């Protein structure tokens, strides 16, 4: 499980440097270190994971469509990263608390998000798309890497309370170049905080390739902070589940933080404001299509004789149903009146807030006067 020391120089073969349980063609590969962490995973669980990933991809496609139709201001696609998000999130305990970036649609889905939760923030209706307390997931973080500091702070609180939980934070390969991520790792290691760092290495930080930012595997950085790490094939849902079970077990047992680098690929744009054809080749994209995480698990289940057309039809119907409800919830949202932005800012009345409310009300009224 120790990080490789081979430089990252070839995107096509990057996954070959990572730990895996399922090969790209769905073949099961024995792995003495990872296998014990997924020994309880049976065919029914595998079908559930396939369903989750299929639903997530459909949610993601619907989000892109809604943005293109002017219903959302922005959308951050996660196509291609389904195995990393579903595999790791399904390995968490209900009491664990997650600190995501803006791309973790699959994580909030796995934690119980409802159809409206996926679009509320991107439509600009609320500061958070979901209820953080109900899902035990902090609001999606737009500031690159900032959520890692929040996770470590929360983990220090876990230590103080003696609670049986871990904090988990997700970020991309680009975020590892931010000071926040490195500072978070310093604090986590120094205080043995029960936090798991999950780097989704999807190869592109907007238009900057990971090979420019990191000449060696990103997981190799964590041991320098005194944090054990594992680099896994992020398109292998079983390897991702095993890695998170290893990491959360390590953190929960009082041994301090753990680090996972999941090597995957962003198939779509960075966000819907991006055009990836300007900086990456169609050949690279096609090479990663052959490693599709959903097709991989489907092939494995079919080889086991544990996947029927009835299963697949039910899965597709479930995905379409959630996407249909997500669209209906989006189109049916009613924007709050502008002055409601001041509601809930303070628990008690505040004179400064009253003044600001009055000034904003006068500003809004000026448009009526001009008309």
> What amino acid positions are annotated as catalytic residues?
266, 270, 279
91 phi, psi to nearest 5 deg: -90, -5
Question: Distance from first CA to last CA of the chain, Å, rounded?
Answer: 67
Output the CA angle 269-53-115, nearest 5 degrees.
80
Strand, helix or coil at 147? helix
In the structure encoding, which two tokens stand for residue 181, read together?
């991520």
In the structure encoding, which two tokens stand for residue 275, read together?
């055009």
- Calpha distance 222→226 (Å, rounded): 7
- Calpha distance 228→81 (Å, rounded): 23
- Calpha distance 244→93 (Å, rounded): 11
The Cβ of residue 54 has, within 10 Å, a number of other Cβ atoms equal to 20
In the structure encoding, which two tokens stand for residue 197, read together?
């760092």
DSSP annotation string for 172-221: ETGGGGSHHHHHHHHHHHHTT--EEEEEEE-SEETTEEHHHH-SS-GGGG
Going by C-beta distance under 8 Å and a sequence separation of 6 or more, which residues neighbour residue 151? 97, 99, 167, 168, 169, 184, 195, 197
């Amino acid at each position: 499980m120790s990080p490789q020391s081979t430089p990252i120089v070839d995107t096509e073969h990057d996954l070959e440097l990572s730990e895996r349980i399922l090969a790209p063609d769905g073949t099961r590969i024995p792995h003495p270190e990872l296998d014990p962490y997924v020994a309880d995973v049976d065919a029914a669980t595998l079908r559930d994971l396939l369903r989750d990933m299929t639903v997530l991809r459909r949610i993601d496609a619907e989000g892109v469509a809604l943005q293109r139709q002017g219903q959302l201001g922005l959308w951050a696609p996660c196509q291609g990263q389904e195995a990393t998000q579903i595999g790791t999130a399904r390995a968490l305990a209900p009491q664990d608390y997650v600190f995501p970036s803006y791309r973790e649609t699959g994580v909030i889905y796995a934690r119980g998000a409802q159809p409206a939760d996926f679009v509320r923030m991107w439509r600009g209706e609320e500061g958070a798309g979901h209820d953080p307390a109900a899902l035990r997931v902090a609001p999606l973080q737009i500031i690159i890497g900032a959520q890692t500091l929040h996770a470590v702070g929360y983990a220090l609180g876990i230590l103080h309370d003696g609670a049986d939980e871990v904090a988990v934070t997700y970020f991309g390969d680009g975020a590892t170049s931010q000071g926040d991520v490195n500072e978070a790792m310093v604090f986590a290691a120094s205080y043995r905080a029960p936090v798991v760092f999950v780097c989704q290495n999807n190869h592109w930080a907007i238009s900057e390739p990971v090979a420019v930012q990191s000449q060696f595997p990103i997981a190799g950085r964590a041991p320098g902070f005194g944090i054990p790490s594992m680099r896994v094939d992020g398109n292998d849902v079983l390897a991702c589940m095993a890695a998170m079970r290893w990491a959360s077990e390590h953190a929960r047992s009082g041994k301090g933080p753990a680090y996972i680098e999941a090597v995957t690929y962003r198939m779509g744009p960075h966000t819907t404001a991006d055009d990836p054809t300007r900086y990456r080749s169609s050949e690279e994209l096609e090479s990663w299509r052959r490693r599709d995480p959903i097709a991989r698990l489907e092939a494995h289940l079919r080889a086991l004789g544990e996947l029927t057309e009835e299963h697949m039809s039910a899965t597709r119907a479930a995905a379409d149903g959630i996407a249909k409800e997500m669209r209906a919830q989006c189109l049916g949202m009613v924007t709050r009146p502008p002055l409601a932005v001041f509601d809930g800012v303070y628990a008690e009345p505040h004179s400064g807030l009253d003044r600001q409310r009055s000034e904003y009300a006068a500003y809004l009224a000026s448009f009526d006067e001009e008309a």
